[in-house]
Structure 1
Amino acid sequence: MLKDKKVIIFDLDGTLIDSVGMWNEVDRRLILQLGGHPEEETVIQTRRDELLTRFRGEKAPYAAYCASLGMLCGSGLSAEDIHKLRYEIADGYLKNTVKLKPSAAELLSYLKAQGRTLVLASTTSRANVEKYMQWNENIKSKANFGALFSRIYTRDDVTELKPSPQVHELILSALGASPDDCLVVEDSLAGVEAANAANIAVVAVADRNSAQDETQIRARSDAFFSDCAALHAFFAGGKAGASSLDKPDAK
């Protein structure tokens, strides 16, 4: 049954922390600084998702993404300089603005207390995760990632981003676990597809920035929850979790 899995693999952005919208704002400001025109948030996010999927096998996918933005905006800056500028813009948000999603801390603490092995599998950089852990009071005052997660994987640990299953294959190998031992918790279509490709059961938590893909996310996940509180209730056997299931036969 889903709720009995021994290893729970969590995505970070959009699943545990409310950060996807922040990256849309960062890229909005970046595009303007590069000489581009104002764009809607959905346009910015859709382009980023598509380009990162296209560049997922590149040695530096985010640098390739930044190079594409530079070409789009007619900027003369190098990919490296644009990448650096992007993180200069993002720094204050990462340290001061990003917050845990409601009930995420309680969910993690509950599962840890049950003796589950918790793993973080994020497509963000290790430097960003370190900022959350060391500088962001909104996060570190509520959840000690270093104590909660047995292992933390970031994009620095892989050569292919989600929807590639590479990060999950690394986790299975490191833990000596089988796919049947594990459950992935995601918010995005790419994340759900990565779990599918690794043959690991996956549940999805709704995020407004993934709303355009919700139909596909529901179809490809084993269960769908409205928020972290509903997922917590599901693990605890409460009615709120059960009522949030996309598939009524999931257990």
Structure 2
Amino acid sequence: MLKDKKAVIFDLDGTLVDSMWIWKEIDERFLGHFGLQVPEGLNDLLEGYSFNETAEYFKNHFPLPLTVQEIKDTWNRMAYEMYTNEIPLKEGVIEFLDVLKDKKLPIGIATSNSRELTKACLNAHGIGQYFQYICTSNEVPKGKPAPDVYLKTAQELSVEPEHILVFEDIPYGIMAGNSANMTTCAVRDAYSQAVADKKRELADYYIDTYFDIINGTYQSV
């Protein structure tokens, strides 16, 4: 899988860490505070949205007495404790990062999450030093499935897209990596298990854990 690769880029949520479950809970608590309920299918609708795009959607579609920035600040406060104390790394992450470090491959993160939560999560797990660059979808014109966040990360890592391996957990993220002309590997995640076949269809590889790469048991799809 790593043959001819000169850099690796990871998504964060559902890919490096098992965190996708918290956002439904945060939505319920946040809207519930204002006497509102989470509409059916909201998470699916917002899949791939950047942190800023999601806040703008909430501002435009719910009667909230908050600015977009206040919405983001509230979410960051609510999520910070979970990201630093409750969210585990995906199985085999540290071992695989050590492999990449030994191979001297630059490593980046391209995430739809906020920079604050991303850095807090990485530092809480003691893995922030592995990554040379972090790019959030808030810092590019369009979020996933547009390729912008991946292309920006590749530019900052000074590696051509065709020599980059991307790890993603949801179809929109895989589509973003594909659109950036990068090799994509889908990562198993309970949150997106219902679309596992779609992930296999879109990606070049599929793994249950990062030990699949180390042990050579990954799937070429």
TM-score calculated relative to the size of structure 1:
0.78
Matches within 5 A, 1:170-185: 170-185=152-167
**Larger Cα-atom Rg:** 1
Aligned to 1:6: 6
Aligned to 1:145: 128
Structure 2 unpaired stretches of 5+: none
Aligned to 1:61: 53
Matched residue of 2:9: which SS?
A: strand
Counterpart of 1:47 in structure 2: which amino acid? L
Q: Displacement of 1:230 after TM fit?
A: 1.4
Q: Displacement of 1:77 after TM fit?
A: 3.9
Matched residue of 1:9: which SS?
A: strand
Would the aligned equivalents of 2:151 and 2:161 in 1 still touch at CA under 8 Å? no
Would the aligned equivalents of 1:66 and 1:83 in 2 still touch at CA under 8 Å? no
Counterpart of 1:65 in structure 2: which amino acid? Y
Q: Does 1:22 align with 2:14?
A: no
Q: Displacement of 1:3 after TM fit?
A: 2.3
Would the aligned equivalents of 2:106 and 2:157 in 1 still touch at CA under 8 Å? no
**Aligned counterparts of 2:115 and 2:74: Cα–Cα separation in 1:** 18
Would the aligned equivalents of 1:24 and 1:44 in 2 still touch at CA under 8 Å? no
The CA RMSD measured in Å over matched residues stands at: 2.3
Q: Displacement of 1:76 after TM fit?
A: 4.0
Comparing both structures, which one devotes a greater share of its residues to helix? 1
Matches within 5 A, 1:159-238: 159-234=141-216
List per-residue Cα deviations over 1:169-200 (Å, max 9, x = no partner).
22333333222211111111111000111111
Match of 2:45 among 44, 47, 57: 47
Would the aligned equivalents of 1:28 and 1:39 in 2 still touch at CA under 8 Å? no
Q: Displacement of 1:154 after TM fit?
A: 2.1
Would the aligned equivalents of 2:109 and 2:153 in 1 still touch at CA under 8 Å? no
**Aligned counterparts of 1:92 and 1:44: Cα–Cα separation in 2:** 24
Aligned length, in residue pairs: 220
Matched residue of 2:109: which SS?
A: strand
Aligned to 2:219: 245
**Aligned counterparts of 1:207 and 1:68: Cα–Cα separation in 2:** 30
List per-residue Cα deviations over 1:40-69 (Å, max 9, x = no partner).
7xx44223327x2xxx6xx93132133145
Aligned to 2:88: 99
**Aligned counterparts of 2:80 and 2:154: Cα–Cα separation in 1:** 32
Matched residue of 1:185: which SS?
A: strand
Q: Displacement of 1:30 after TM fit?
A: 1.2
Q: Displacement of 1:207 after TM fit?
A: 0.7
Aligned to 1:237: none
Q: More displaced, 4-13 or 83-92?
A: 83-92
TM-score calculated relative to the size of structure 2:
0.88
List per-residue Cα deviations over 1:61-113 (Å, max 9, x = no partner).
132133145x2xx4444444333332232222122112211211111111211
Would the aligned equivalents of 1:8 and 1:117 in 2 still touch at CA under 8 Å? yes
Matched residue of 1:3: which SS?
A: coil
Counterpart of 1:170 in structure 2: which amino acid? K
**Aligned counterparts of 2:38 and 2:153: Cα–Cα separation in 1:** 40
Aligned to 1:83: 72
Matched residue of 1:83: which SS?
A: helix
**Aligned counterparts of 1:245 and 1:110: Cα–Cα separation in 2:** 19
Structure 1 unpaired stretches of 5+: 235-240
